[in-house]
Structure 1
Amino acid sequence: MFIYLLAFTSGFCIMGIELLGGRILAPFFGSSVHIWGSIITVFMLSLSLGYLLGGKLSTRSASLAIYGLIFLFAAITILPIALFGQWLMETVFLAIEDSRYGSLVASMVLFFIPTVILGMLSPYSVRLLVKSSHESGQIAGKLYFISTLGSALGTIVTSFYLILWFDINVIVFSFSGVLACLGICAIVIHKSLQLERLEPSHV
Protein backbone atom coordinates (compact mmCIF):
# COMPACT_ATOMS: atom_id res chain seq x y z
CA MET A 1 0.00 0.00 0.00
CA PHE A 2 2.88 2.34 0.83
CA ILE A 3 4.43 1.90 -2.62
CA TYR A 4 1.10 2.71 -4.26
CA LEU A 5 0.97 5.90 -2.19
CA LEU A 6 4.45 6.84 -3.37
CA ALA A 7 3.55 6.12 -6.99
CA PHE A 8 0.43 8.29 -6.64
CA THR A 9 2.47 11.14 -5.15
CA SER A 10 5.15 10.98 -7.83
CA GLY A 11 2.48 11.17 -10.53
CA PHE A 12 0.91 14.15 -8.75
CA CYS A 13 4.25 15.98 -8.57
CA ILE A 14 5.21 15.27 -12.19
CA MET A 15 2.07 16.90 -13.57
CA GLY A 16 2.16 19.68 -11.00
CA ILE A 17 5.68 20.62 -12.05
CA GLU A 18 4.79 20.37 -15.73
CA LEU A 19 1.93 22.83 -15.27
CA LEU A 20 4.14 25.19 -13.30
CA GLY A 21 6.58 25.06 -16.22
CA GLY A 22 4.17 27.07 -18.34
CA ARG A 23 3.96 29.80 -15.71
CA ILE A 24 7.72 29.85 -15.18
CA LEU A 25 8.53 30.23 -18.88
CA ALA A 26 5.68 32.65 -19.71
CA PRO A 27 7.33 35.93 -18.54
CA PHE A 28 10.28 35.29 -20.86
CA PHE A 29 8.94 33.27 -23.80
CA GLY A 30 5.18 33.84 -23.72
CA SER A 31 2.45 31.23 -23.41
CA SER A 32 1.75 30.31 -27.03
CA VAL A 33 1.32 26.76 -28.28
CA HIS A 34 5.00 26.25 -29.13
CA ILE A 35 5.94 27.01 -25.52
CA TRP A 36 3.71 24.20 -24.33
CA GLY A 37 5.03 22.07 -27.17
CA SER A 38 8.55 22.55 -25.79
CA ILE A 39 7.51 21.72 -22.24
CA ILE A 40 5.53 18.62 -23.19
CA THR A 41 8.33 17.39 -25.47
CA VAL A 42 10.92 17.70 -22.71
CA PHE A 43 8.68 15.94 -20.19
CA MET A 44 7.86 13.09 -22.57
CA LEU A 45 11.53 12.57 -23.49
CA SER A 46 12.60 12.79 -19.84
CA LEU A 47 9.96 10.34 -18.66
CA SER A 48 10.79 7.85 -21.41
CA LEU A 49 14.46 7.93 -20.43
CA GLY A 50 13.48 7.68 -16.76
CA TYR A 51 11.36 4.59 -17.45
CA LEU A 52 14.30 3.00 -19.24
CA LEU A 53 16.80 3.78 -16.48
CA GLY A 54 14.38 2.83 -13.70
CA GLY A 55 13.68 -0.51 -15.34
CA LYS A 56 17.39 -1.21 -15.69
CA LEU A 57 18.14 -0.17 -12.10
CA SER A 58 15.32 -2.35 -10.75
CA THR A 59 17.04 -5.51 -12.02
CA ARG A 60 19.87 -5.01 -9.51
CA SER A 61 18.62 -6.17 -6.11
CA ALA A 62 15.72 -3.71 -5.81
CA SER A 63 15.00 -2.43 -2.31
CA LEU A 64 12.95 0.19 -0.51
CA ALA A 65 16.18 1.94 0.48
CA ILE A 66 17.19 2.58 -3.12
CA TYR A 67 13.59 3.50 -3.91
CA GLY A 68 13.71 6.08 -1.13
CA LEU A 69 17.01 7.45 -2.43
CA ILE A 70 15.43 8.01 -5.84
CA PHE A 71 12.75 10.11 -4.14
CA LEU A 72 15.42 12.08 -2.30
CA PHE A 73 17.37 12.73 -5.49
CA ALA A 74 14.16 13.85 -7.20
CA ALA A 75 13.46 16.23 -4.31
CA ILE A 76 16.96 17.72 -4.56
CA THR A 77 16.91 18.17 -8.34
CA ILE A 78 13.56 19.98 -8.17
CA LEU A 79 15.02 22.72 -5.95
CA PRO A 80 16.98 24.55 -8.71
CA ILE A 81 13.65 25.30 -10.41
CA ALA A 82 12.82 27.60 -7.50
CA LEU A 83 16.33 28.64 -6.51
CA PHE A 84 17.82 29.44 -9.93
CA GLY A 85 14.82 29.45 -12.28
CA GLN A 86 14.72 33.21 -12.75
CA TRP A 87 18.44 33.48 -13.47
CA LEU A 88 18.40 30.51 -15.84
CA MET A 89 15.42 31.87 -17.77
CA GLU A 90 17.09 35.26 -18.15
CA THR A 91 20.33 33.65 -19.35
CA VAL A 92 18.61 31.50 -21.97
CA PHE A 93 16.33 34.36 -23.03
CA LEU A 94 19.31 36.64 -23.70
CA ALA A 95 21.30 33.92 -25.46
CA ILE A 96 18.58 32.59 -27.81
CA GLU A 97 16.37 35.06 -29.70
CA ASP A 98 13.90 32.57 -31.18
CA SER A 99 11.32 31.85 -28.47
CA ARG A 100 10.68 28.37 -29.87
CA TYR A 101 14.23 27.16 -29.33
CA GLY A 102 14.72 29.33 -26.28
CA SER A 103 11.75 27.71 -24.54
CA LEU A 104 12.98 24.27 -25.58
CA VAL A 105 16.44 24.87 -24.12
CA ALA A 106 15.01 26.47 -21.00
CA SER A 107 12.70 23.50 -20.47
CA MET A 108 15.62 21.11 -20.87
CA VAL A 109 17.76 23.02 -18.38
CA LEU A 110 15.05 23.24 -15.72
CA PHE A 111 13.01 20.07 -16.04
CA PHE A 112 15.03 17.36 -17.78
CA ILE A 113 16.97 15.91 -14.84
CA PRO A 114 14.21 15.97 -12.18
CA THR A 115 11.70 14.46 -14.62
CA VAL A 116 14.11 11.68 -15.60
CA ILE A 117 14.52 10.78 -11.93
CA LEU A 118 10.77 10.93 -11.29
CA GLY A 119 10.24 8.72 -14.33
CA MET A 120 12.48 6.06 -12.78
CA LEU A 121 9.98 5.56 -9.97
CA SER A 122 7.23 3.80 -11.95
CA PRO A 123 9.21 0.78 -13.22
CA TYR A 124 11.02 0.54 -9.89
CA SER A 125 7.66 0.48 -8.11
CA VAL A 126 6.52 -2.42 -10.30
CA ARG A 127 9.69 -4.34 -9.48
CA LEU A 128 9.15 -3.90 -5.73
CA LEU A 129 5.54 -5.04 -5.89
CA VAL A 130 5.84 -8.01 -8.25
CA LYS A 131 6.56 -11.29 -6.45
CA SER A 132 5.81 -13.68 -9.32
CA SER A 133 5.47 -13.44 -13.10
CA HIS A 134 1.80 -14.49 -12.89
CA GLU A 135 0.79 -11.28 -11.12
CA SER A 136 3.10 -8.87 -12.95
CA GLY A 137 0.52 -7.68 -15.49
CA GLN A 138 -2.18 -7.06 -12.89
CA ILE A 139 0.18 -5.21 -10.54
CA ALA A 140 1.66 -3.09 -13.34
CA GLY A 141 -1.83 -2.15 -14.49
CA LYS A 142 -2.93 -1.23 -10.98
CA LEU A 143 0.23 0.76 -10.34
CA TYR A 144 0.00 2.76 -13.57
CA PHE A 145 -3.70 3.36 -12.87
CA ILE A 146 -2.87 4.84 -9.46
CA SER A 147 0.08 6.82 -10.80
CA THR A 148 -2.02 8.25 -13.64
CA LEU A 149 -4.79 9.05 -11.18
CA GLY A 150 -2.21 10.99 -9.19
CA SER A 151 -1.18 12.83 -12.36
CA ALA A 152 -4.78 13.76 -13.09
CA LEU A 153 -5.32 15.02 -9.55
CA GLY A 154 -2.02 16.89 -9.68
CA THR A 155 -3.18 18.62 -12.85
CA ILE A 156 -6.50 19.69 -11.36
CA VAL A 157 -5.26 20.69 -7.92
CA THR A 158 -2.25 22.63 -9.24
CA SER A 159 -4.13 24.47 -11.98
CA PHE A 160 -7.38 25.09 -10.08
CA TYR A 161 -6.08 25.85 -6.59
CA LEU A 162 -2.36 25.83 -5.81
CA ILE A 163 -1.40 28.29 -8.55
CA LEU A 164 -4.05 30.71 -7.24
CA TRP A 165 -3.23 30.37 -3.55
CA PHE A 166 0.56 30.18 -3.48
CA ASP A 167 3.67 31.58 -5.12
CA ILE A 168 5.25 29.24 -7.69
CA ASN A 169 8.41 28.82 -5.62
CA VAL A 170 6.37 27.85 -2.55
CA ILE A 171 4.65 25.12 -4.58
CA VAL A 172 7.99 23.84 -5.90
CA PHE A 173 9.48 23.75 -2.40
CA SER A 174 6.36 21.92 -1.19
CA PHE A 175 6.67 19.27 -3.90
CA SER A 176 10.34 18.85 -3.02
CA GLY A 177 9.55 18.56 0.67
CA VAL A 178 6.84 15.95 0.14
CA LEU A 179 9.12 13.84 -2.08
CA ALA A 180 11.96 14.11 0.44
CA CYS A 181 9.70 13.06 3.34
CA LEU A 182 8.42 10.04 1.42
CA GLY A 183 11.94 9.07 0.46
CA ILE A 184 13.05 9.20 4.10
CA CYS A 185 10.00 7.15 5.12
CA ALA A 186 10.89 4.48 2.54
CA ILE A 187 14.47 4.28 3.86
CA VAL A 188 13.28 4.08 7.48
CA ILE A 189 10.79 1.32 6.64
CA HIS A 190 13.54 -0.59 4.82
CA LYS A 191 15.80 -0.35 7.89
CA SER A 192 12.95 -1.45 10.19
CA LEU A 193 12.21 -4.49 8.02
CA GLN A 194 15.89 -5.42 8.04
CA LEU A 195 15.98 -5.24 11.85
CA GLU A 196 12.86 -7.41 12.11
CA ARG A 197 14.51 -10.07 9.94
CA LEU A 198 17.67 -10.01 12.05
CA GLU A 199 15.96 -10.25 15.45
CA PRO A 200 14.83 -13.93 15.25
CA SER A 201 18.40 -15.01 14.47
CA HIS A 202 19.59 -13.62 17.81
CA VAL A 203 16.92 -15.49 19.82
Structure 2
Amino acid sequence: MTTTKANAWRNPFIYLLAFTSGFSIMGIELLAGRILAPFFGSSVHIWGSIITVFMLSLSLGYLLGGKLSTKSASLARYGLIFIIASITILPIVTSSQWLMETVFLAIEDSRYGSLVAATCLFFIPTIFLGMLSPYSVRLLVTTSNESGQVAGKLYFVSTLGSALGTIITSFYFVLWFDVDTIIISFSLLLGMLGLIAVAVSKLTVTSKITASQEGVNHA
Protein backbone atom coordinates (compact mmCIF):
# COMPACT_ATOMS: atom_id res chain seq x y z
CA MET A 1 0.00 0.00 0.00
CA THR A 2 1.49 3.33 -1.07
CA THR A 3 1.28 6.44 1.05
CA THR A 4 -1.16 8.04 -1.42
CA LYS A 5 -3.50 5.05 -1.37
CA ALA A 6 -3.29 4.80 2.42
CA ASN A 7 -4.21 8.47 2.82
CA ALA A 8 -7.02 8.14 0.26
CA TRP A 9 -8.67 5.41 2.32
CA ARG A 10 -7.91 6.87 5.75
CA ASN A 11 -10.57 9.58 6.00
CA PRO A 12 -13.49 7.52 4.56
CA PHE A 13 -12.51 4.74 6.94
CA ILE A 14 -12.64 7.12 9.92
CA TYR A 15 -16.11 8.25 8.83
CA LEU A 16 -17.15 4.59 8.61
CA LEU A 17 -15.88 4.04 12.14
CA ALA A 18 -17.79 7.09 13.40
CA PHE A 19 -20.95 5.82 11.67
CA THR A 20 -20.53 2.39 13.29
CA SER A 21 -19.98 3.84 16.75
CA GLY A 22 -23.18 5.91 16.45
CA PHE A 23 -25.08 2.86 15.21
CA SER A 24 -23.81 0.74 18.11
CA ILE A 25 -24.51 3.32 20.82
CA MET A 26 -28.19 3.64 19.95
CA GLY A 27 -28.59 -0.07 19.33
CA ILE A 28 -27.23 -0.85 22.79
CA GLU A 29 -29.31 1.90 24.40
CA LEU A 30 -32.50 0.42 22.94
CA LEU A 31 -31.53 -3.05 24.11
CA ALA A 32 -30.95 -1.67 27.61
CA GLY A 33 -34.70 -1.35 27.93
CA ARG A 34 -35.12 -5.03 27.06
CA ILE A 35 -32.46 -6.06 29.58
CA LEU A 36 -33.93 -4.07 32.48
CA ALA A 37 -37.61 -4.76 31.72
CA PRO A 38 -37.92 -8.25 33.28
CA PHE A 39 -36.83 -6.88 36.68
CA PHE A 40 -37.83 -3.21 36.71
CA GLY A 41 -40.54 -2.95 34.04
CA SER A 42 -40.60 -0.63 31.05
CA SER A 43 -42.31 2.49 32.42
CA VAL A 44 -41.18 6.01 31.69
CA HIS A 45 -38.91 6.26 34.76
CA ILE A 46 -37.01 3.15 33.62
CA TRP A 47 -36.28 4.84 30.30
CA GLY A 48 -35.45 7.99 32.23
CA SER A 49 -32.76 6.05 34.10
CA ILE A 50 -31.36 4.55 30.90
CA ILE A 51 -31.25 7.85 29.00
CA THR A 52 -29.68 9.63 31.99
CA VAL A 53 -26.90 7.04 32.27
CA PHE A 54 -26.17 7.15 28.55
CA MET A 55 -26.16 10.94 28.40
CA LEU A 56 -23.86 11.28 31.40
CA SER A 57 -21.45 8.61 30.18
CA LEU A 58 -21.38 10.03 26.66
CA SER A 59 -20.68 13.53 27.98
CA LEU A 60 -17.79 12.18 30.05
CA GLY A 61 -16.59 10.22 27.04
CA TYR A 62 -16.63 13.36 24.86
CA LEU A 63 -14.56 15.17 27.48
CA LEU A 64 -12.00 12.37 27.85
CA GLY A 65 -11.83 11.71 24.11
CA GLY A 66 -11.18 15.36 23.38
CA LYS A 67 -8.44 15.51 25.97
CA LEU A 68 -6.84 12.28 24.78
CA SER A 69 -6.89 13.43 21.17
CA THR A 70 -4.51 16.31 21.99
CA LYS A 71 -1.74 13.87 22.91
CA SER A 72 -0.20 12.38 19.76
CA ALA A 73 -3.47 11.35 18.15
CA SER A 74 -3.11 8.40 15.80
CA LEU A 75 -5.27 5.90 13.96
CA ALA A 76 -3.70 3.12 16.03
CA ARG A 77 -4.82 4.69 19.33
CA TYR A 78 -8.21 5.35 17.79
CA GLY A 79 -8.49 1.67 16.93
CA LEU A 80 -7.43 0.77 20.45
CA ILE A 81 -10.38 2.71 21.86
CA PHE A 82 -12.68 0.63 19.65
CA ILE A 83 -11.08 -2.56 20.94
CA ILE A 84 -11.42 -1.50 24.58
CA ALA A 85 -15.05 -0.48 23.97
CA SER A 86 -15.79 -3.89 22.45
CA ILE A 87 -14.30 -5.64 25.50
CA THR A 88 -16.26 -3.52 27.99
CA ILE A 89 -19.51 -4.32 26.16
CA LEU A 90 -19.22 -8.06 26.78
CA PRO A 91 -20.00 -7.91 30.55
CA ILE A 92 -23.46 -6.64 29.56
CA VAL A 93 -24.10 -10.20 28.39
CA THR A 94 -22.14 -12.13 31.00
CA SER A 95 -23.18 -10.13 34.06
CA SER A 96 -26.67 -8.78 33.36
CA GLN A 97 -28.70 -11.61 34.89
CA TRP A 98 -27.09 -11.85 38.32
CA LEU A 99 -26.53 -8.10 38.51
CA MET A 100 -30.21 -7.38 37.81
CA GLU A 101 -31.23 -9.91 40.45
CA THR A 102 -28.83 -8.44 43.01
CA VAL A 103 -29.92 -4.84 42.46
CA PHE A 104 -33.59 -5.82 42.32
CA LEU A 105 -33.39 -7.52 45.71
CA ALA A 106 -31.26 -4.78 47.29
CA ILE A 107 -33.24 -1.71 46.15
CA GLU A 108 -37.02 -1.76 46.48
CA ASP A 109 -37.74 1.43 44.54
CA SER A 110 -37.59 0.53 40.84
CA ARG A 111 -36.60 4.08 39.95
CA TYR A 112 -33.33 3.94 41.83
CA GLY A 113 -32.85 0.24 41.20
CA SER A 114 -33.02 0.76 37.45
CA LEU A 115 -30.66 3.73 37.72
CA VAL A 116 -28.07 1.70 39.63
CA ALA A 117 -28.44 -1.30 37.33
CA ALA A 118 -28.12 0.81 34.17
CA THR A 119 -25.05 2.53 35.59
CA CYS A 120 -23.34 -0.75 36.44
CA LEU A 121 -23.99 -2.27 33.01
CA PHE A 122 -23.71 0.60 30.56
CA PHE A 123 -21.74 3.47 32.07
CA ILE A 124 -18.19 2.24 31.30
CA PRO A 125 -18.71 0.96 27.72
CA THR A 126 -20.63 4.10 26.77
CA ILE A 127 -17.79 6.29 28.03
CA PHE A 128 -15.41 4.60 25.59
CA LEU A 129 -17.94 4.84 22.76
CA GLY A 130 -18.36 8.54 23.54
CA MET A 131 -14.60 9.09 23.28
CA LEU A 132 -14.70 8.19 19.59
CA SER A 133 -16.44 11.30 18.22
CA PRO A 134 -13.98 13.99 19.41
CA TYR A 135 -11.06 11.69 18.57
CA SER A 136 -12.47 11.28 15.05
CA VAL A 137 -12.58 15.06 14.60
CA ARG A 138 -8.95 15.35 15.69
CA LEU A 139 -7.83 12.75 13.15
CA LEU A 140 -9.77 14.34 10.30
CA VAL A 141 -8.92 18.01 10.87
CA THR A 142 -5.68 19.16 9.24
CA THR A 143 -6.17 22.94 9.40
CA SER A 144 -8.11 25.18 11.76
CA ASN A 145 -10.06 26.65 8.84
CA GLU A 146 -11.76 23.34 8.07
CA SER A 147 -12.45 22.27 11.66
CA GLY A 148 -16.08 23.42 11.67
CA GLN A 149 -16.88 21.78 8.35
CA VAL A 150 -15.19 18.50 9.35
CA ALA A 151 -16.94 18.44 12.74
CA GLY A 152 -20.30 19.08 11.10
CA LYS A 153 -19.79 16.33 8.54
CA LEU A 154 -18.59 13.90 11.18
CA TYR A 155 -21.53 14.51 13.51
CA PHE A 156 -23.88 14.17 10.53
CA VAL A 157 -22.39 10.74 9.76
CA SER A 158 -22.38 9.69 13.41
CA THR A 159 -25.95 10.85 14.01
CA LEU A 160 -27.09 9.15 10.81
CA GLY A 161 -25.55 5.97 12.19
CA SER A 162 -27.43 6.52 15.45
CA ALA A 163 -30.73 6.95 13.59
CA LEU A 164 -30.21 3.80 11.55
CA GLY A 165 -29.03 1.91 14.62
CA THR A 166 -32.26 2.91 16.37
CA ILE A 167 -34.65 1.90 13.62
CA ILE A 168 -32.84 -1.24 12.45
CA THR A 169 -32.39 -2.57 15.98
CA SER A 170 -35.99 -1.83 16.99
CA PHE A 171 -37.64 -2.88 13.70
CA TYR A 172 -35.55 -5.90 12.72
CA PHE A 173 -32.75 -7.08 15.01
CA VAL A 174 -35.01 -7.67 18.02
CA LEU A 175 -37.30 -9.77 15.82
CA TRP A 176 -34.54 -11.87 14.29
CA PHE A 177 -32.11 -12.36 17.19
CA ASP A 178 -32.09 -12.50 20.97
CA VAL A 179 -30.61 -9.62 22.96
CA ASP A 180 -27.37 -11.41 23.86
CA THR A 181 -26.65 -12.21 20.21
CA ILE A 182 -27.14 -8.59 19.17
CA ILE A 183 -24.93 -7.26 21.98
CA ILE A 184 -22.16 -9.75 21.13
CA SER A 185 -22.43 -8.80 17.45
CA PHE A 186 -21.98 -5.13 18.30
CA SER A 187 -18.95 -6.04 20.40
CA LEU A 188 -17.39 -8.17 17.66
CA LEU A 189 -18.03 -5.50 15.01
CA LEU A 190 -16.38 -2.76 17.07
CA GLY A 191 -13.45 -5.00 17.96
CA MET A 192 -12.91 -6.04 14.34
CA LEU A 193 -12.97 -2.43 13.12
CA GLY A 194 -10.54 -1.49 15.90
CA LEU A 195 -8.10 -4.20 14.79
CA ILE A 196 -8.42 -3.04 11.17
CA ALA A 197 -7.69 0.55 12.25
CA VAL A 198 -4.53 -0.57 14.06
CA ALA A 199 -3.45 -2.62 11.02
CA VAL A 200 -4.13 0.26 8.61
CA SER A 201 -2.14 2.61 10.84
CA LYS A 202 0.85 0.27 10.81
CA LEU A 203 0.64 -0.13 7.02
CA THR A 204 0.50 3.64 6.61
CA VAL A 205 3.57 4.14 8.79
CA THR A 206 5.43 1.38 6.95
CA SER A 207 4.58 2.84 3.55
CA LYS A 208 5.78 6.29 4.65
CA ILE A 209 9.08 4.86 5.85
CA THR A 210 9.48 2.93 2.58
CA ALA A 211 8.70 6.00 0.50
CA SER A 212 11.17 8.07 2.52
CA GLN A 213 13.91 5.49 2.04
CA GLU A 214 13.24 5.31 -1.69
CA GLY A 215 13.48 9.08 -1.89
CA VAL A 216 16.85 9.00 -0.14
CA ASN A 217 18.09 6.26 -2.44
CA HIS A 218 17.04 8.14 -5.56
CA ALA A 219 18.74 11.26 -4.26
* TM-score normalised according to structure 1 size: 0.99
Q: Which of the numbers 126, 140, 144 marks the counterpart of 1:133?
A: 144
Unaligned runs of 5+ in 2: 1-11, 215-219
Alignment partner of 1:28 is 2:39:
yes
The match for 2:153 is: 142
The match for 1:196 is: 207
Deviations 1:137-191 (A, max 9, x none): 0000000000000000000000000011101000000000000000000000000
Alignment partner of 1:74 is 2:110:
no
Unaligned runs of 5+ in 1: none
Superposed, 1:29-178 pairs within 5 Å as 29-178=40-189
Q: Which runs of 4+ in 1 moved over 3 A?
A: none
Per the TM alignment, residue 200 of structure 1 is displaced from its structure 2 partner at its CA by 2.8
Higher Rg of the two aligned structures: 2
Separation in 2 of the partners of 1:201 and 1:147? 35
Separation in 2 of the partners of 1:201 and 1:99? 62
Per the TM alignment, residue 197 of structure 1 is displaced from its structure 2 partner at its CA by 1.0
Counterpart secondary structure, 2:90: helix
The match for 2:16 is: 5
- Matched positions, count: 203
* TM-score normalised according to structure 2 size: 0.92
The residue type paired with residue 188 of structure 1 is A
Per the TM alignment, residue 202 of structure 1 is displaced from its structure 2 partner at its CA by 3.3
What value does the CA root-mean-square deviation take over the aligned residues? Answer: 0.6
The residue type paired with residue 138 of structure 1 is Q
Per the TM alignment, residue 133 of structure 1 is displaced from its structure 2 partner at its CA by 0.2
The match for 1:179 is: 190
The residue type paired with residue 94 of structure 1 is L
Q: Percent identity?
A: 75
